Structure 1
Amino acid sequence: MKEGRIKKVSGPVIIADQMEGTEMYEVVKVGEMGLFGEVIELEGDEATIQCYEETSGVAPGEKVERTGSPLSVELGPGLINSIFDGIQRPLNKIREKGGNFIPRGIDVSSLDEEKKWEFKPKVNEGDEVEALSVLGIVPETKVIDHKVMVPPETEGKVTEIREGEFTVNETIAKLELDDGETKEIKLKQEWPVRQSRPVEEKLEPSTPLLTGQRILDTFFPITKGGTAAVPGGFGTGKTVLQHQISKWADADVIIFIGCGERGNEMAEVLEDFPELEDPRTGESLMERTILVANTSNMPVAARESSIYTGITLAEYYRDMGYDVALQADSTSRWAEALREISGRLEEMPGEEGYPAYLASRLAGFYERAGMVKPTEQRKGSVSVVGAVSPPGGDFSEPVTQNTLRIVKVFWALSTELKDRRHFPAIDWLESYSLYTDDVEEWWDQEVEKDWYDLRERSLELLQQEDELQEVVQLVGPDALPEKERVILNVTKMLREDFLQQNAFHEVDTYCEPHKQIEMLDIILDYYDIASEAVDEGVSVEELNQLEVVDRIARMKEIPEEEFEEKAEDIRKQMEEEINSLEEE
């Protein structure tokens, strides 16, 4: 294939000439070191290339070698339990081959090409198969069966199917296509990262993605196949929240993208995840996790591709029928990479220097989430939670605003709550979820209580508290009527005993749905009974001194297996103590 020549170097942007016949988004190898790059603009015989590696030392006149294919990921057994960089190079293999620092131009296969995988066929010779039909199963980890599928947009008759142990490059089946040609199927396939994988049908989301975090599940739920944004200033807990979702979400596969974040945060993920016991299986959490790492000290252009690499891997496991939860930390760093590349391309800047196409790029990423039917036989989902890091915690900046136009769940992290040591520091007055109507039926079927009513009543009380605080700051709480002081006491319970959750507490780190609703119901029952008692002449000070108030505060520390019995006991004690006050 014809080679071009470097004409100009500007940081990660290379301009090369003599590139006739080159296509947009084609991968090239730049310079004598063979640095990876991607064509992002064409004009005449000149191509503009964004290079995924440090370009220092690259000089005009050096060759640019075309590959003829777009930036793609390798899909096959061995993805789970791996950590890749932004262009799907396995970091552990790079370390074995080149040491602790990534050598420029190193070319390593994304999948282990020597390891043999046990393949168990699910079809027979002579069977007619369509796109994404399952040909067989490979036990990828102890908890994930890798379903080897017919490539998209391919259908035909199985003329040969093999059983046994194979490497990812060996043929496991042959198909006779409609035009009479024979297509060989291997365990490994490739797919361009910027192109979403085709599906039969996109479904309306109806099942919540349970995280075990009370403020998320009960107040601002996300569905399987949903999208959520987590904006927050420095130190408000974006990464810890995403770690919690990764650990506890009831998804089959977890994909965590560290996009431009600090290296120590990614190192913490690498150290913690292998040691964490998966509550679903009892195995290591890494047995169903893929990590994509492009930290802040890695090349900026690869940061832009890391988002697409992660979502393409998520779509692949979705097509197998799995529920995938993808965490992107953070899309602001990705947008900054877009801004830097755009600046070097001398494009007309938009708001705050971001490119004019920022909104469409964000939409293109989030819209690849969803609950879908890859084929008529099965369904799967990709749920996307994207962290946003607005400078100075300013939610009016372009990345946050453009993200909010796309996603349906907004978990607003508050610096004020963080300063008060309230975690998760999600502001219940600013946050919202547009999935509440979609998941109401699920909650009605799963729990005996009216989830929607409990949620609405709680949020209404918290809103009233916010209004009362203005009066309290002027004249103090003692000047309020007794009924309104009861509201302040109950909202304090909601804030401290329900919404506040300790990620490092053995029991409180995860709260299952029935326990969440029961806790909320007990607090609201206390409000109803206490309000009636105040009408009977009982003072708020007397109510505050009841022993049951301390028991309500410690409800979240009760283990799940003991909770039902102790919850009933708390209810009885609450009624007895308040009734005795009324009688006095």
Structure 2
Amino acid sequence: MSEHTRDIIYGINGPVVYVKNARGFKMGEMVYVGEEKLVGEVISLTSEQTTIQVYEETSGLRPGAVVEGSGAAISVTLGPGILHNIFDGVERPLSEIAKKSGKYITRGLAVNSLDTEKKWPVTVKVKVGDHVTGGTVIAEVPETKSITHRSMVPPAVLDAEVTWVTEDGEYTILDPIVKIRHRDGREEALTLCQKWPIRVPRPAAKHYSSSEPLVTGQRILDTMFPIAKGGTAAIPGGFGTGKTMLQHQIAKWSDADIIIYVGCGERGNEMTQVLEEFSGLEDPRTGNPLMDRTALIANTSNMPVAAREASIYTGLTLAEYYRDMGYDVAIMADSTSRWAEALRELSGRLEEMPAEEGYPAYLASRLSAFYERAGMMQNLNGTEGSVSIIGAVSPQGGDFSEPVTMNTKRYVRCFWGLDKSLAYARHFPAIQWLDSYSEYVNDLSPWFTTNVDKKFVDDRNQFIAILNQEHSLMEIVKLIGSDVLPDDQKLTLEIARVIRLGFLQQNAFHKDDTSVPMKKQFLMMETILYLYQKAKTLILMGQPMSVLKQSDIFERVVAMKYDVPNDKPEMFDQYRKDIDKFYDEVLEKNA
């Protein structure tokens, strides 16, 4: 370590540490603070003063303690062993920390991000004489039963020739696998792992527009407010509205290849539930444990505030790394409000000028930089992969006009607003269909037409129209009651009730209703709209709504989500016959 990057502390303010007259540090450099070598990052530099944010508890630190520079930015280690693992905010595995310090994380623990002693079965994918560039796959490793890990040439390599390769066999992540010669004659040995700074997006060859949905199995998301692969979504909601549970459902059932779950400043008991639940879940796609394609980053509310700010970027970098291999990755950030609160606290410590509600003036640019790292990409190696970002927002008191929610709304194209009154009425997912929207519907229409049915988007739009009509009619009903409404409007209210209970509401604990394939979602829409069409014809013929309500057909259509198994779509034909029978019976009785 060079002597010029060894300086001493002259001031401490919570997680913020000041060093005077230091000339050896670089902006964004990782540093080690004090005797315990606490991990920190340089966030501000002048000729007189260097400001460092420390990612660990600073109590007991005193002026005069030594600060040493590392010469590199805050980085994560990327290689086999990320999946099926649980990290803290700066990619230290909690299992290794527990071995060294027990249940509570002690300060200054130096543990390897990935296991450097475990041997992996390696298949080398290049040969001597090959020309490689950034992103070229040099070796494949079966990281878990579900995922093949593709070790790549670091993105910065422009053109190099392979001069030596090892034989297929078992190697650690630090063993040389391939040696390359750069154009300037410099030799370099490549291993299974590489380092990457967390605040720098990993490069890609091309950015595609959204054309394929991230299918989650949740009807209100897939049908009403779909998100694209490589898309962005926000889940704002007050305390107890089900943000975390909705993210769990998406993580379990979405058709993403890899899940990165970032618990950012959440309560410790919630995080424990996530860890325990995910560890015991079976992956519905492969039958293997769900953790085989999941990495968790746990940064609870009692952990140091600066590490909370870093945890989001750590998760994003892991997601981009797997995207570079050609996988579709979904990252759950729970919650970005706690991250914004960490920014606010650090900004206050740095005595920066506060903006709205005390948040720093750069809140919007930080949020935009976070969500902009999503996308469907053509990678440097020619494969295609995506990173979809789904961020929970926890506005205080459920107020969607507060700065984090409003700024998030500017940068995401899906807004799934959770409603406290729906949650209290046990309607889950508690997404308020009047406040929510998706800007991906038009982009995804060709996919729905080709892969589901050409009527899919029209049916969805009809559902939205009926629900909006119900909202308008309910204003009248609240004032003067429903008895004064004409029968066609009473029918609209009844069909809206069928849509709400039979389609939008979903039971996470029912084997057929917890996740629903797109084909069944479409057939459910078709069945409800067929009932609406037939009932409307009867109303136009003069039949009163009271007569139609004597039949149990409305309740049976509500219950079809439970009665029709996901693998038996042909059973919907019987519902059509039953609706036709109901239509004929009403006509016969009242002829």
Same fold (TM over 0.5): yes
Does structure 1 residue 418 correspond to structure 2 residue 426?
no
One-letter identity of the residue aligned with 2:479: L
Does structure 1 residue 395 correspond to structure 2 residue 400?
yes
Deviations 1:225-272 (A, max 9, x none): 000011011111100000000000100000000000011111111111
Matching residue of 1:567: 572
Map 1:23-42; keep pairs closer than 5 Å: 23-42=26-45
Contact kept in structure 2, 1:33 and 1:105, CA below 8 Å: yes
Match for residue 53 of structure 1 among 47, 56, 59:
56
CA RMSD of aligned residues (A): 1.0
Map 1:432-581; keep pairs closer than 5 Å: 432-561=437-566, 563-581=568-586
Matching residue of 1:342: 347
Indicate the larger mover: 127-136 or 332-341: 127-136
Deviation for aligned residue 1:561: 4.9
Inter-partner Cα distance in structure 2 for 1:55 and 1:226: 38
Inter-partner Cα distance in structure 2 for 1:558 and 1:184: 60
One-letter identity of the residue aligned with 2:203: P
Deviation for aligned residue 1:475: 1.7
Map 1:376-387; keep pairs closer than 5 Å: 377-387=382-392
One-letter identity of the residue aligned with 1:86: G
| % identity of equivalent residues | 53
Contact kept in structure 2, 1:537 and 1:582, CA below 8 Å: no
For the residue of structure 2 that corresponds to 1:171, the secondary structure is: coil
The verdict on how the C-alpha distance between 1:546 and 1:305 changes in structure 2, with shifts beyond 3 A counting, is same
Matching residue of 2:276: 271
Matching residue of 1:225: 230
Indicate the larger mover: 155-164 or 288-297: 155-164
Contact kept in structure 2, 1:231 and 1:388, CA below 8 Å: yes
One-letter identity of the residue aligned with 1:386: G
Matching residue of 1:243: 248
Deviation for aligned residue 1:176: 1.0
Contact kept in structure 1, 2:42 and 2:52, CA below 8 Å: yes
Does structure 1 residue 15 correspond to structure 2 residue 18?
yes
Deviation for aligned residue 1:291: 0.2
Inter-partner Cα distance in structure 2 for 1:305 and 1:559: 46
Matching residue of 2:173: 168
For the residue of structure 2 that corresponds to 1:413, the secondary structure is: coil
Inter-partner Cα distance in structure 2 for 1:448 and 1:360: 40
Inter-partner Cα distance in structure 1 for 2:566 and 2:297: 37
Deviation for aligned residue 1:559: 5.0
Matching residue of 1:74: 77
Contact kept in structure 1, 2:30 and 2:72, CA below 8 Å: yes
Map 1:94-173; keep pairs closer than 5 Å: 94-154=97-157, 155-162=159-166, 163-173=168-178
Structure 2 gap segments, 5+ residues each: none
Indicate the larger mover: 469-478 or 424-433: 469-478
Deviation for aligned residue 1:542: 2.3
Inter-partner Cα distance in structure 1 for 2:492 and 2:253: 33
Inter-partner Cα distance in structure 1 for 2:433 and 2:318: 33
Map 1:288-437; keep pairs closer than 5 Å: 288-375=293-380, 377-437=382-442
Q: TM-score, normalising length from structure 2? A: 0.98
Inter-partner Cα distance in structure 2 for 1:54 and 1:375: 40
Inter-partner Cα distance in structure 2 for 1:451 and 1:21: 62
Inter-partner Cα distance in structure 2 for 1:76 and 1:558: 46
Matching residue of 1:284: 289
Structure 1 gap segments, 5+ residues each: none
For the residue of structure 1 that corresponds to 2:483, the secondary structure is: helix
For the residue of structure 2 that corresponds to 1:180, the secondary structure is: coil
Inter-partner Cα distance in structure 2 for 1:404 and 1:184: 45
Contact kept in structure 1, 2:135 and 2:381, CA below 8 Å: no
Matching residue of 2:221: 216
Deviation for aligned residue 1:499: 0.1
For the residue of structure 2 that corresponds to 1:477, the secondary structure is: coil
Inter-partner Cα distance in structure 1 for 2:397 and 2:7: 44
Deviations 1:123-168 (A, max 9, x none): 1111111110111201100010000101102131111111211111
One-letter identity of the residue aligned with 1:389: S
Aligned pairs, number: 584
Deviations 1:393-413 (A, max 9, x none): 111111011111101000011
Inter-partner Cα distance in structure 1 for 2:30 and 2:395: 32
